[in-house]
């Protein structure tokens, strides 16, 4: 297409863009400004083509033009982006963004918030593309880290008392995305503290969209730190408030909420797992239902990469205790069917054999150890008689349900 | 091994380590004794940075000091080595030296950092003992060195070169991260994130699998598996696991306490076996947590009110770990302590191939032949 563009047409497109930019700033129209700043969106494609044809575009930006410096770098970013030079595009965009932020700080009202959103989004996306380019050249990817520092500056510009605060959560979410991608999640902490201790702003006053993203990421952090109650609360909030038509987002939330729910003893229906294509959890759930330790181990091995990457592996590994509980309960039920009066006594030897069948080689010492742990964690009520190698189950509620509470640690 | 200007200045100030003094004099050293000290500030003059041949000579000299048995001098020697090795690392970093020789140096340093964790555990820095062993600093340096080392491995991998010792050190690092330590905080996510960053080949090496098994046993409180793994461990792996011995033992006693009826007991001999305390003062640990020792035909620990729930019994030197070490320190710092492909790893392989019979059948089978106790 671009090859058929005449110089005159290119010139016209560029001046039109500059005029629209000036108008948007003059009339404080944040929404229009937003679409003019979105380098990676297809809106600006025709302008980018024009920049390729009319090489001398820099001349068209007059010094009298508002934000002329910002525009210079911005158009250079667009130009580089169109020719696939993403590192150059990022560098120019960062300069433009810095210039814009400088102006934005001086504006009292929050009219340009939409534009700031666009910049916060674009800088992250451009940085990711630039880093891929750097990596392919055998260089160290460092732009996303740079984008993180820039976003921190934006965050600082928003967190004061005043109307701009409403944008703080959006920028926070972009920062989360950067930190999660870089694997530096500990950096989230200071941002979270600043959001959660703020006295100027009620969380409920932030846009719903940002609340959901925020709860999703902080929920994931709680999963990482094995705070299952907090994780449950945050991810459930995200699930309840997210757009019910966005299947992809629901799936992302469930990917973390399911292991959390499993950890507190709540199992999902298989149909839910199928509906959202979370089939990697099917055997994990099955193992919990049937007390099948081997099935749990196999499920973890089969999806090891996926579970490790999403950070739920160690959480799922911990479910082993609940599977042991289920296994004991099964033995108890079978014994009860044979002789109810003796059902509450389980010989460790029986457990050893059941485990052997599950290809788990454990001797009496180790089985006794497991039982002691189960009793200590309140997954079994009872005591063991060390000498006769028997577990004596409590007659009342020998297998307490977790019902929404995590296993004691 | 030490720039002349620094040597003269330190002579003047009497800032010489015991190992650097000539004829025990506070203000005299020599070319062959003085070793460049660690300096937090980057060198202002390039000529003060030791080139690779000098660094290699320095390391060889420092390691030669370790060519002797473990003895009471070790703490002082470690305090000297710790600092001078750090200086070597600084110079390597400044010159971007990533070659195999640099890798070997960092590996030797890490092995030293690991073995002191056990060897010096009873010499910990504290009130009135400022010359003591600083667990926190030691782990911090081990951590930093490991991160640098892994960058070197990754760099080599990018060029298509795999360093065979990588799995040994990835395994140590995973053991280091398995849970929080005395004076060193590890967040639960760290191990998980580290595992996710490893290539799947490294992740399934015997060393890393071993560390993961240890982590699972430790977190679950499975004291039987934990101490069985400690028996199987190489010396250095055992030194890293040792940091968790006290905690696992306390957890065990809490669990046993919960599972016993009042006045019921367990033979102390069993506990000694379970907790790998042969040759150690197990009775004092049991009494610390409120068990009483009674003599019937055997020695029993009997349940009383549990004490000191929140405070682990003090970390002591372990006989189990002690038995694993070499006669000379240098041998433990130099040797590659790699595991053979363990039965565990091969079990995991065969798991993938085998089908699985139904659990219920298994239980029926298991209960069939039982005689129930009344």
| CA A388/CA A391 separation, integer angstroms | 9
Contact B259 A372 (CB under 8 A): yes
| CA A368/CA B281 separation, integer angstroms | 24
**Residue A12: CB partners within 8 Å, gap ≥ 6?**
none
Considering just the CA atoms, what is the radius of gyration of chain A in Å? 29
Instruction: Transcribe B16-77 into DSSP letters.
Output: --GGG-GGG-TT---TTT--PPP-SSPPSSGGGSPPHHHHHHHHHHHHHTT-SB--TTHHHH
| CA B97/CA B370 separation, integer angstroms | 67
At residue A200, the pLDDT reads 66
Name every chain A residue with its beta carbon within 8 A of the beta carbon of B225.
366, 369
Considering all CA atoms of chain A, what is the largest pairwise distance in Å, rounded to the nearest integer? Answer: 97
Residue of B224, B266, B351 to mutate, interface with A, max A Cβ within 10 Å: B224
Shortest Cα distance, chain A CAs vs residue B30, angstroms: 43
Is the pLDDT score of A138 beyond 90?
no
Contact B192 A388 (CB under 8 A): no
Name every chain A residue with its beta carbon within 8 A of the beta carbon of B372.
339, 342, 345, 347
Q: Is the ipTM of this complex over 0.85?
A: no
Q: How confident is the model at residue A328 (pLDDT cuts 50, 70, 90)?
A: very high
Is the pLDDT score of A66 beyond 80?
no
Contact B367 A331 (CB under 8 A): yes
Instruction: Transcribe A281-340 into DSSP letters.
Output: GHHHHHHHHHT-HHHHHHHHHHTHHHHHHHT-HHHHHTTHHHHHHHHHHHHHHHHHHH-G
Nearest C-alpha in B relative to A366: B224
pLDDT 10s digit of each residue in chain B, 374 long? 888 888 898 988 888 888 888 887 778 888 888 899 898 876 667 788 889 999 999 999 999 999 999 998 899 999 999 999 999 999 999 899 999 999 999 999 999 999 999 999 998 877 667 778 988 899 999 999 999 999 999 999 988 999 999 999 999 999 998 877 666 677 777 888 888 888 888 999 999 999 999 999 998 999 999 999 999 999 999 999 999 999 999 999 999 998 988 878 899 999 999 999 998 999 999 999 989 899 888 888 988 888 888 888 888 899 999 999 999 999 999 987 777 655 455 455 444 444 444 444 444 444 433 333 33
Q: How confident is the model at residue A3 (pLDDT cuts 50, 70, 90)?
A: low
Name every chain A residue with its beta carbon within 8 A of the beta carbon of B255.
369, 372-373, 375-376
Cβ(B263)–Cβ(B302) under 8 Å?
yes
Shortest Cα distance, chain B CAs vs residue A239, angstroms: 23
A264-289 average pLDDT score: 96
Long-range contacts of B16-20 (CB under 8 A, 24+ apart): B17/B80, B18/B76, B18/B80, B19/B65, B19/B76, B19/B77, B19/B80
**Residue B72: CB partners within 8 Å, gap ≥ 6?**
none
From the list A4, A168, A383, the residue with the least C-alpha distance to B303 is A383
Contact A334 B225 (CB under 8 A): no
- Helix (H, G, I), strand (E, B), or coil: what is residue B90? helix
Contact B360 A297 (CB under 8 A): no
Shortest Cα distance, chain B CAs vs residue A314, angstroms: 7
Nearest C-alpha in A relative to B347: A359
In this complex, which of B220, B259, B348 lies closest to A301 when CB atoms are compared? B348
Contact B223 A320 (CB under 8 A): no
Nearest C-alpha in A relative to B200: A305
Shortest Cα distance, chain B CAs vs residue A208, angstroms: 29
Name every chain B residue with its beta carbon within 8 A of the beta carbon of A372.
252, 255-256, 258-259
More confident residue, B180 or A79: A79
Handedness of CA B41, B45, B51, B57 (dihedral sign): negative
Nearest C-alpha in B relative to A180: B193
- CB-count burial class (<10 Å; 0-12, 13-18, 19+) for A362: buried
From the list B68, B97, B93, the residue with the least C-alpha distance to B81 is B68
Contact B223 A385 (CB under 8 A): no
In this complex, which of A301, A330, A375 lies closest to B352 when CB atoms are compared? A301
At residue B352, the pLDDT reads 42
Q: What angle do CA B215, B163, B60 make, to 5 degrees?
A: 95
| CA A86/CA A180 separation, integer angstroms | 22
| CA B62/CA B166 separation, integer angstroms | 23
From the list A104, A43, A114, A31, the residue with the least C-alpha distance to A78 is A43
Name every chain A residue with its beta carbon within 8 A of the beta carbon of B299.
none
More confident residue, A200 or B247: B247
What residues form DSSP beta bridges with A390?
A: A347, A385
Nearest C-alpha in A relative to B255: A376
In this complex, which of A305, A349, A354 lies closest to B363 when CB atoms are compared? A354
Name every chain A residue with its beta carbon within 8 A of the beta carbon of B216.
317, 320
Cβ(B63)–Cβ(B108) under 8 Å?
yes
pTM of the predicted model as reported, rounded to 2 decimal places: 0.85
Cβ(A369)–Cβ(B274) under 8 Å?
yes
In this complex, which of A314, A334, A347 lies closest to B191 when CB atoms are compared? A314
At residue A394, the pLDDT reads 93
Contact B220 A314 (CB under 8 A): no
Helices (H), A107-207: 113-136, 143-158, 168-182, 188-196
């Amino acid at each position: 297409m671009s090859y058929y563009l005449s110089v005159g047409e290119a010139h016209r497109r560029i001046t039109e863009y500059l005029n629209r930019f000036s108008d948007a700033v003059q009339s404080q129209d944040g929404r229009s400004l937003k679409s003019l700043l979105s380098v990676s969106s297809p809106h600006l494609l025709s302008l980018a083509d024009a920049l390729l044809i009319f090489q001398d575009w820099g001349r068209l930006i007059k010094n009298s033009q508002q934000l002329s410096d910002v525009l210079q770098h911005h158009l250079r970013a667009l130009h580089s982006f169109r020719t696939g030079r993403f590192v150059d595009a990022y560098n120019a965009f960062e300069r433009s963004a810095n210039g814009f932020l400088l102006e934005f700080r001086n504006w009292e009202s929050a009219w340009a918030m939409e534009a700031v959103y666009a910049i916060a989004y674009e800088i992250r996306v451009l940085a990711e593309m630039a880093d891929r380019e750097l990596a392919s050249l055998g260089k160290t990817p460092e732009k996303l880290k740079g984008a993180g520092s820039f976003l921190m500056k934006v965050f600082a510009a928003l967190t004061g008392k005043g109307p701009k605060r409403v944008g703080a959560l959006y920028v926070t979410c972009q920062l989360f995305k950067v930190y999660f991608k870089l694997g530096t999640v500990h950096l989230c902490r200071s941002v979270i503290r600043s959001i959660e201790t703020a006295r100027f702003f009620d969380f409920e006053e932030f846009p719903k969209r940002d609340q959901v993203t925020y709860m999703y990421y902080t929920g994931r952090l709680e999963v990482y730190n094995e705070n299952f109650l907090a994780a449950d609360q945050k991810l459930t909030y995200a699930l309840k408030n997210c757009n019910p038509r966005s299947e992809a987002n629901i799936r992302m939330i469930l990917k973390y909420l399911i292991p959390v729910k499993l950890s507190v003893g709540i199992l999902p229906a298989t149909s839910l797992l199928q509906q959202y294509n979370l089939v990697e959890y099917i055997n994990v759930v099955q193992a919990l239902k049937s007390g099948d330790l081997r099935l749990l181990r196999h499920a973890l091995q089969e999806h090891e990469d996926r579970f490790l990457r999403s950070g739920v592996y160690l959480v799922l590994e911990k479910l082993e205790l609940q599977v042991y509980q289920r296994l004991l309960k099964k033995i108890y039920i079978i014994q009860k069917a044979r002789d109810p009066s003796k059902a509450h006594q389980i010989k460790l030897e029986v457990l050893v054999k059941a485990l052997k069948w599950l290809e788990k080689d454990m001797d009496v010492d180790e089985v006794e150890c497991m039982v002691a742990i189960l009793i200590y964690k309140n997954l079994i009520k009872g005591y063991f008689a060390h000498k006769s190698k028997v577990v004596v189950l409590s007659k009342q509620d020998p297998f307490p349900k977790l019902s929404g509470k995590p296993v004691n640690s | 091994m030490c720039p002349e200007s620094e040597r003269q200045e330190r002579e003047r100030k009497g800032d010489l380590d015991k190992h650097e003094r000539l004829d025990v004099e506070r203000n005299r050293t020599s070319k062959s004794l003085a070793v460049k000290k660690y300096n937090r500030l980057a060198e202002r003059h390039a000529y003060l940075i030791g080139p690779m041949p000098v660094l290699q000579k320095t390391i060889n000299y420092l390691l030669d000091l370790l060519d002797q048995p473990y003895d009471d001098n070790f703490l002082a020697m470690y305090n000297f080595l710790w600092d001078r090795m750090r200086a070597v690392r600084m110079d390597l970093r400044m010159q971007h030296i990533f070659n195999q020789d640099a890798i070997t140096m960092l590996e030797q340093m890490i092995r030293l950092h690991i073995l002191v964790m056990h060897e010096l555990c009873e010499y910990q820095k504290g009130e009135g003992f400022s010359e003591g062993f600083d667990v926190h600093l030691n782990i911090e340096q081990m951590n930093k060195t490991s991160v640098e080392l892994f960058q070197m491995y990754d760099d080599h991998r990018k060029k298509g070169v795999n360093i065979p010792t990588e799995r040994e050190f990835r395994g140590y690092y995973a053991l280091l991260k398995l849970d929080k330590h005395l004076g060193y905080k590890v967040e639960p996510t760290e191990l998980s994130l580290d595992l996710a960053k490893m290539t799947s080949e490294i992740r399934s090496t015997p060393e890393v699998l071993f560390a993961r098994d240890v982590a699972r046993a430790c977190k679950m409180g499975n004291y039987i598996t934990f101490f069985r793994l400690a028996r199987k461990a190489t010396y250095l792996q055992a030194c890293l696991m040792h940091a968790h011995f006290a905690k696992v033992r306390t957890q065990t006693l809490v669990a046993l306490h919960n599972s016993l009826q009042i006045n019921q007991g367990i033979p102390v001999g069993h506990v000694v076996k379970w907790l790998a305390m042969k040759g150690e003062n197990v009775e004092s640990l049991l009494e610390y947590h409120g068990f009483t020792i009674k003599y019937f035909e055997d020695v029993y620990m009997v349940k009383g009110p549990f004490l000191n729930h929140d405070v682990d019994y003090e970390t002591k030197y372990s006989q189990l770990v002690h038995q694993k070490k070499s006669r000379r320190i240098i041998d433990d710092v130099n040797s590659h302590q790699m595991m053979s492909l363990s039965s565990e790893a091969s079990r995991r392989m065969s798991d993938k191939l085998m089908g699985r019979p139904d659990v219920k059948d298994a239980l029926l089978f298991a209960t069939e032949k039982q005689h129930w106790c009344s």
